[in-house]
Amino acid sequence: MKTETNNAPPPARDKLLFTPGPLTTSHSVKAAMLHDAGSWHFEFNAVVDSIRERLLKLGGVSREQGYEVVLLQGSGTFGVEAVFQTCVPNDGKVLVLSNGAYGERMIQMLKHARIAHVALRTGEDAPSDPAALDQALAADPSISHVAAVHCETTTGVLNPIDELGIVTHRHGRTYIVDAMSSFGALPIDFAACHIDFLISSANKCIESVPGFSFVICRRDVLMSSQGIARSLSLDLIAQLTGFEKNGQFRYTPPTHAILAFAQALDELDTEGGPAARNARYTRNHETLVTGMRALGFHPYLKPAVQSCIITSFLFPTDPEFDFNTFYRRLSDHGYLIYPGKISQADTFRIGSIGRIFEADIHALLAAIQQTVNELGILVETPTPLPTREAEANFN
């Protein structure tokens, strides 16, 4: 019998992703997906159960304290929408704190679900304002829920979810936090922030691959929404009931992403947990900003409101600068960055998270310098635009 052999050359090294996720993952996380798993098999269900327990521990909460965790197929957007679809009653009203694209996406979700809502906006370079939230809640008793984004990766601005949570709790409203790009690295104290629902996803600071989101929540607040879900597949209570009944997802689970996530959690533990990961990301960010300033690029945000997750840089004033050309040339050198996503200024974004280290940041900076030289760009960037005052828009 002829034995088949694979004589294909080894794959080239993946390009490094300087993005807010999906992001560069370790070889061992990728390797964990080289296995098939039966979605009903007890061994796979045991992995799912272990992940749920470990996520509660990672959040510093427990079932004994009244918290629960629900995994949901799909990206983080699915998780956020599932909270709205499951937990806001027909007579409810959501106040969305928005200073970027992901706050605006929440607003779009609520519009599509025909859920009453109000948007409390600040400038894209300014954090959400607890005092403005206090005034809005005092003025409108019909508001039942408040939704905020922790790290708004539109710019990289970090919102004060602790102060916002204190205000929300004082007014007796339910508090929803999109912690997509912060959970697993930035410190989050559920009790101090009075968080009722926190949503994150596999492919951010836990450094796994896309495939599912998860919701960590107060069980009593979730279960008080029994029977009001507007969606079949996004019904968090039904999903939780399935896990508790037989340990299974209701519908086809992302088996390979689950296996990768279990490995990623192991690697987070090995690194020293969220504090150690935050320290690495902070070093990455500081190295990046120092190096970019040396090259003539300037961050869009002021340091006081800048997270270590992703940084927006202003375009050079040189009229010859074209981002698409700049991006493609950097890609040719093996580095992927992100385009800008804001309306106030022309920016591009560079992430500091994922399986990247200071040496990778230095390599990226060298590639940027090389690209600037190749394109003959004069790097002088303008002064960031001033912050806009907070404004409330009623929809």
* Residues 58, 38 share a domain: yes
* Residues 169, 73 share a domain: yes
> 126-142 pLDDT, tens per residue?
999 999 999 999 999 99
Is residue 210 reached through a cis peptide bond, with omega within 30 degrees of 0 on the bond before it? no
| Domain-embedded: residue 105 | yes
* Residues 252, 318 share a domain: no
* Residues 299, 164 share a domain: no
> 284-340 pLDDT, tens per residue?
999 999 999 999 999 999 999 999 999 999 999 999 899 999 999 999 999 999 998
Using the 3D structure, point to which of 229, 249, 269 is the last residue of a domain: 269
* Residues 36, 183 share a domain: yes
| Domain-embedded: residue 112 | yes
| Domain-embedded: residue 324 | yes
| Domain-embedded: residue 115 | yes
Lowest mean pLDDT among 5-9, 274-278, 366-370, 390-394: 390-394
For residue 385, pLDDT over 70 is answered with no
* Residues 295, 253 share a domain: no
> 121-178 pLDDT, tens per residue?
999 999 999 999 999 999 999 999 999 999 999 999 999 999 999 999 999 999 999 9
| Domain-embedded: residue 194 | yes
For residue 195, pLDDT over 50 is answered with yes
Angle (nearest 5°) at CA 343 between 340 and 349 = 15
* Residues 237, 139 share a domain: yes
Sign of CA dihedral 95, 101, 107, 110: negative
CATH of the domain at 323: 3.90.1150.10
Q: Which domain holds residue 356?
A: 273-375
pLDDT of residue 381: 60
* Residues 304, 176 share a domain: no
* Residues 366, 285 share a domain: yes
> How far apart are the C-alpha atoms of 319 and 90, rounded to whole Å?
52
Using the 3D structure, point to which of 269, 288, 315 is the last residue of a domain: 269
* Residues 350, 223 share a domain: no
* Residues 170, 57 share a domain: yes
| Domain-embedded: residue 67 | yes
pLDDT of residue 13: 78
> 86-97 pLDDT, tens per residue?
999 999 999 999
| Domain-embedded: residue 21 | no
pLDDT of residue 350: 98
* 345 band by pLDDT with thresholds 50, 70 and 90: confident
Per residue, what are the HEC states of the chain?
CCCCCCCCCCCCCCCEECCCCCCCCCHHHHHCCCCCCCCCCHHHHHHHHHHHHHHHHHCCCCCCCCEEEEEEECCHHHHHHHHHHHHCCCCCEEEEEECCHHHHHHHHHHHHHCCEEEEEECCCCCCCCHHHHHHHHHHCCCCCEEEEECEECCCCEECCHHHHHHHHHHCCCEEEEECCCCCCCCCCCHHHHCCCEEEEECCCCCCCCCCEEEEEEEHHHHHCCCCCCCCCCCCHHHHHHHHHHHCCCCCCCCHHHHHHHHHHHHHHHHHCHHHHHHHHHHHHHHHHHHHHHHHCCCECCCHHHECCCEEEEECCCCCCCCHHHHHHHHHHCCEECEECCCCCCCEEEEECCCCCCHHHHHHHHHHHHHHHHHHCCCCCCCCCCCCCCCEEEEC
What integer best gives the mean pLDDT of the chain?
Answer: 92
* Residues 285, 225 share a domain: no
How many domains does the chain divide into? 2
pLDDT of residue 4: 40
CATH of the domain at 130: 3.40.640.10
> How far apart are the C-alpha atoms of 393 and 383, rounded to whole Å?
28
Using the 3D structure, point to which of 269, 295, 314 is the last residue of a domain: 269
| Domain-embedded: residue 310 | yes
